[in-house]
C-alpha cells in the first residue's frame, strides 16, 4: 500500500509536469532543477547519492543508499530575466521596431521520486521528471521578430529503475526512460528587407512525440566516508510530427536529444561536515541540423528545411558542502561554473544562453525519522560574451538574410522545495535475501 501511494504521487507529478514548465537552466534547453537538495549545493555530488532518493535522476545505482520505502516530491520556481536590446539591423529600418524586452518567462518544474527496498541487495525505483524545457517570448513586434516570436520546449519523463548492491562497497543500477517531448518555434513571416512592417503574420513549427532511452550507473564507497558515483543518461530519439502553422503543412522532424555523463564525489571531513563535487558532460553537439520534411511527400520542407541547432558540447562543474548542525537541521552551500553549448556563433533571441556561475544555499529540516523538508535558493550570473550576432556565419542567418545584432542582459533566480517521507518503519529490519540450499 505504501508503494502504491508513492506511485500515485508520482502520477500527480507527471500531470503537473505537462502543465507547468519554464525557462531552461542547464545549458541550451535542458532543465537541471530536479532536486531541491541538489540545488542547495549547486548539484555538487548528486551522482554519488548526496541528493537523497532524487540522485537516481543522475545515477540509478544511488537508490541502494536509501533503505526502506521512500518518496520525495520536489518543486522549483524559476524566475529568469533576459533583456534583448538590438544595436544593429540590416536593413537599418528594422531597428525602429524596438527591442524584445524581457524574453524569459517564469516557470514551475515539479519532480518526484520513489524507491522500494526488496531486500538487502535489491531496490526498485520510479522517477517522474522534466529533462528539457524552455519558454521565451519577446514583444510580438520588435526588430528581431524574423528570428523569434514564441519559443516553447516541453518534456515529461517517467523512469522505472532498478538498483542492485553487489557488495558492501559497490552498487549498480539501470532505468528505462519514457519521454514525451513537444516543441513550438514561431517567428514573423516577413517583412521583406525592403519593406519592414510591424504587422507581419506569425508562422512556425509545432509538433510532439514520444521517445525511449535508458540510464545506467554505478556507485562506490571504497572507504568510510567516501562515495563515488558515475551515471549515464542515454540519447533519446524523438520523431516529432506536427504542422507548419499558418501554411497548414504537416511536418516531421527527427531530433536526437543528447546523452550525458555525470560524475560525483563526496568525502566526509568530520562527523558533521561533508564536501561534494560534480563534473558533467552533455553531448549537445549531436543535435546539428535536424531535417524537417513535408509529412505528406517526405521531401524537405521548402520554407524551413532544417532546424539550426549547431551547438557545442556542454560542461558543468560544481563544489559544495553540507554541515549537520544537530539531528534536526542541516545546512548546505555550493558554487558551480557552467560552460554553455551556445556561443555567439549560434546564439539567437530564442535562446540567448551563455556561460554562467551558480551560487546556491539550502537547508534540510528533519521533522521526524520519517518526514523531512528541504528549501534551497540559487542565483545564476551570466559571464563572458552574451551578445547576439545573426549575420553571415551564424547557422540561422541563411534562412532569413537579415542581420540582427543585440546585447543581452540576463540572470536567473531559482527557489526550490521538497518533502521527503519514508513510508515504512525505520526501526523495522529490512528482509534479507532468500537463500536456498543446494
For residue range 296-317, list pLDDT tens digits in order.
888 988 778 888 889 999 999 9
Pairing mode, strands 329-339 and 273-282: unpaired
Across the range 86-94, mean pLDDT stands at 90
Give the pairing type, strands 150-167 and 133-136.
antiparallel
Whether the CB-CB separation of 41 and 321 falls below 8 Å is answered with yes
For 138, 200, 310, 338, 409, the CA distances from 354, given in Å and listed in that order, are: 18, 30, 15, 9, 11
Q: Residue 425 contacts by C-beta under 8 Å, 6 or more apart in sequence?
A: none
Helix, strand and coil in the chain, % to nearest 5? 10, 55, 35
Position 24 confidence tier, pLDDT thresholds 50, 70, 90:
low
- What pLDDT sits at residue 302? 79
Q: Beta-carbon neighbour count of residue 149 at 10 Å?
A: 25
**Phi, psi for 236 (deg, rounded to 5):** -130, 125
pLDDT of residue 198 exceeding 80, the answer is no
pLDDT in tens, 45-59: 999 999 999 999 999
Considering the entire predicted model, what is its pTM?
A: 0.90
DSSP secondary structure code for residue 57 in this structure: G
Mean pLDDT along residues 121-143:
95
User: What is the overall mean pLDDT for the chain?
Assistant: 89
13, pLDDT greater than 90: no
Cβ(97)–Cβ(200) under 8 Å?
no
Question: 392-407, pLDDT tens digit by residue?
Answer: 888 888 766 789 999 9
pLDDT tier at 372 (50, 70, 90 boundaries)? very high
Question: Which grid coordinates belong to 163?
Answer: 538498483
| pLDDT over 80 (residue 190) | no
- 226-260 burial by CB neighbour count: b if 16+ within 10 A, else e? ebbbbbbbbebebebebebbeeebebbbebbbbbb
Amino acid at each position: 500500500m505504501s508503494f502504491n501511494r508513492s506511485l500515485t504521487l508520482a502520477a500527480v507529478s507527471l500531470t503537473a509536469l505537462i502543465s507547468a514548465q519554464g525557462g531552461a537552466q542547464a545549458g541550451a534547453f535542458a532543465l537541471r532543477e530536479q532536486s531541491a537538495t541538489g540545488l542547495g549545493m549547486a548539484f555538487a555530488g548528486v551522482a554519488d547519492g548526496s541528493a537523497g532518493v532524487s540522485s537516481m535522476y543522475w545515477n540509478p545505482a544511488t537508490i541502494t543508499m536509501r533503505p526502506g520505502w521512500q518518496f520525495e516530491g520536489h518543486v522549483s520556481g524559476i524566475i529568469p530575466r533576459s533583456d534583448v536590446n538590438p544595436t544593429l539591423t540590416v536593413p537599418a529600418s528594422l531597428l525602429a521596431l524596438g527591442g524584445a524586452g524581457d524574453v524569459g518567462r517564469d516557470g514551475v518544474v515539479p519532480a518526484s521520486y520513489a524507491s522500494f527496498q526488496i531486500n538487502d541487495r535489491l531496490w526498485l525505483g520510479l522517477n517522474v521528471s522534466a529533462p528539457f524545457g524552455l519558454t521565451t517570448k519577446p514583444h510580438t513586434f520588435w526588430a528581431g521578430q524574423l528570428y523569434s516570436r514564441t519559443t516553447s520546449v516541453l518534456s515529461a519523463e517517467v523512469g522505472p529503475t532498478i538498483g542492485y548492491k553487489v557488495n558492501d562497497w559497490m552498487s549498480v543500477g539501470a532505468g528505462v526512460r519514457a519521454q514525451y517531448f513537444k516543441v513550438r518555434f514561431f517567428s514573423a513571416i516577413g517583412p521583406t528587407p525592403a519593406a519592414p512592417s510591424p504587422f507581419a503574420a506569425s508562422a512556425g513549427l509545432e509538433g510532439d512525440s514520444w521517445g525511449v532511452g535508458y540510464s545506467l550507473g554505478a556507485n562506490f564507497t571504497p572507504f568510510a566516508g567516501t562515495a563515488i558515483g558515475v551515471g549515464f543518461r542515454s540519447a533519446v530519439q524523438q520523431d516529432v510530427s506536427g504542422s507548419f502553422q499558418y501554411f497548414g503543412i504537416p511536418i516531421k522532424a527527427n531530433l536526437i536529444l543528447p546523452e550525458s555523463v555525470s560524475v560525483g564525489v563526496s568525502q566526509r571531513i568530520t562527523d558533521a561536515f561533508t564536501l561534494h563535487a560534480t563534473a558533467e558532460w552533455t553531448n549537445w553537439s549531436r543535435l546539428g541540423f535536424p531535417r524537417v520534411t513535408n509529412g505528406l511527400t517526405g521531401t524537405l520542407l521548402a520554407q524551413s528545411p532544417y532546424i539550426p541547432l549547431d551547438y557545442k558540447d556542454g560542461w558543468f562543474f560544481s563544489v559544495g558542502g553540507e554541515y549537520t548542525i544537530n539531528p534536526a537541521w542541516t545546512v548546505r552551500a555550493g558554487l558551480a561554473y557552467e560552460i554553455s553549448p551556445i556561443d555567439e556563433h549560434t546564439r539567437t533571441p530564442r535562446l540567448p544562453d551563455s556561460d554562467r556561475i551558480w551560487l546556491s544555499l539550502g537547508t534540510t529540516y528533519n521533522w521526524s525519522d520519517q518526514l523531512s523538508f528541504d528549501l534551497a535558493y540559487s542565483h545564476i550570473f551570466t559571464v563572458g560574451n552574451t551578445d547576439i550576432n545573426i549575420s553571415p556565419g551564424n547557422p540561422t542567418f541563411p534562412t532569413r538574410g537579415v542581420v540582427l545584432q543585440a546585447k543581452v542582459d540576463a540572470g536567473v533566480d531559482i527557489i526550490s522545495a521538497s518533502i521527503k517521507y519514508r513510508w515504512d518503519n525505520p526501526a523495522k529490519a529490512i528482509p534479507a535475501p532468500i537463500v536456498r540450499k543446494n
